[in-house]
Amino acid sequence: MRPQTHVLFFLLYICGGLSLDFKVVDLTHDHSNTTIYWPGNPEYNFTILARGNTTGGFWYESNYFGTAEHGGTHLDSPAHFYKDRHRTHNIPIENLIGPGVIINVKNKAAANVDYQVSIDDLKQWESIYDQIPKNAIVIMNSGWHERYPNASLVFNTDSPTDSSTFHFPAWHEDTIEWLISERSVNVVGVDTPSTDFGQTKTFAVHISLGKANISGAENVANLDALPESEV
Ligand SMILES: [Zn+2]
C-alpha cells in the first residue's frame, strides 16, 4: 500500500477519537478498473486471492491490487520531476496538511479549455478572503472533476492515449513561481489530470513544484462540496 494511504488511515483514527463537529469530504475518485491513468502506465489490476468459507468454518477473503502511481486522484511527490527531492514516504506529514484554498476558474475553463490559472486569479481570491494562509493547500476548481472517469472528456481528446492531443486547464508556471516566492504552500492541486495544462511541452509547473519540494495533487474530486476558504 502507498504511504499516503497510511496518512489517510492515521487521520481517520485521530478523527475517530473526537466528536466530529465538522463535515468530512472525500476528495478522491473511486480507485478501480475505471481509474484513468496517464498514457503509458499499466492498468489497474485487482485480483481475488481468496473469498469464501474455509474448512475451519469461518469466512475468509483477501485481495491483491496493483496500480501505477499516476492514476485517478493521486499525489505527485516532489521527486516526480526533480532529482533528490522528497519521494512520498519522505514527505513530512505536516507538509500534507494545511488550510484549504479553492480557486474557482470554471467560467474561464469553460471558455478556454487550455486555461492556465493566473496570478490575478489568486489576487482576486485574496481580495475576497484575505491573504492566502501559510502552509495552504491551493486547489484549482475548473469543473473538470465532473468529467471523470470518461477519459475522452477528462483529457478532452478523441485520442486519450496520445498526450500531444490533450486539452485541459491547470496552473500557469508564473503563478506557481509567485506562490512559491510570495506565499507559503504545502500542496498545489487540480481537478484535471496534471498540474501542467494539457498542451504543455515543458512541464514547467511540475519542475518548479518539485524543485521547491512542494507536492501536487491531481484529479481531485468533489471540489464543489468545499467552501472556497476555511474562514
Ligand atoms: Zn501525477
- CA of residue 56 to ligand 1 center, whole Å: 44
* pLDDT score of 151: 97
* Cell numbers standing for residue 92: 513530512
In the reported structure, the alpha carbon of residue 41 is separated from the centroid of ligand 1 by a whole-number distance in angstroms of 11
- Predicted TM-score (pTM) of the model is 0.89
**Ligand 1 (ion): which residues have CB within 5 A?**
70, 76, 218
Strands (E), the chain: 45-53, 59-66, 74-76, 100-104, 116-117, 136-141, 170-171, 185-190, 215-218
d(CA 215, CA 186): 7
Distance 86 CA to ligand 1 centre (A): 14
pLDDT tens track, the chain, 231 positions = 343 433 444 444 444 455 667 889 999 999 999 999 999 999 999 999 999 999 999 999 999 999 999 999 999 999 999 999 999 999 999 999 999 999 999 999 999 999 999 999 999 999 999 999 999 999 999 999 999 999 999 999 999 999 999 999 999 999 999 999 999 999 999 999 999 999 999 999 999 999 999 999 999 999 999 999 986
In this prediction, residue 12 carries a pLDDT of: 42
Report CA(76)–ligand 1 centroid distance (Å): 5
pLDDT of residue 4: 41
Give the integer Cα–Cα distance in Å for 131 and 122.
Answer: 9
Give the pLDDT score at 23.
87
Task: State whether residue 100 is helix, strand or coil.
Answer: strand
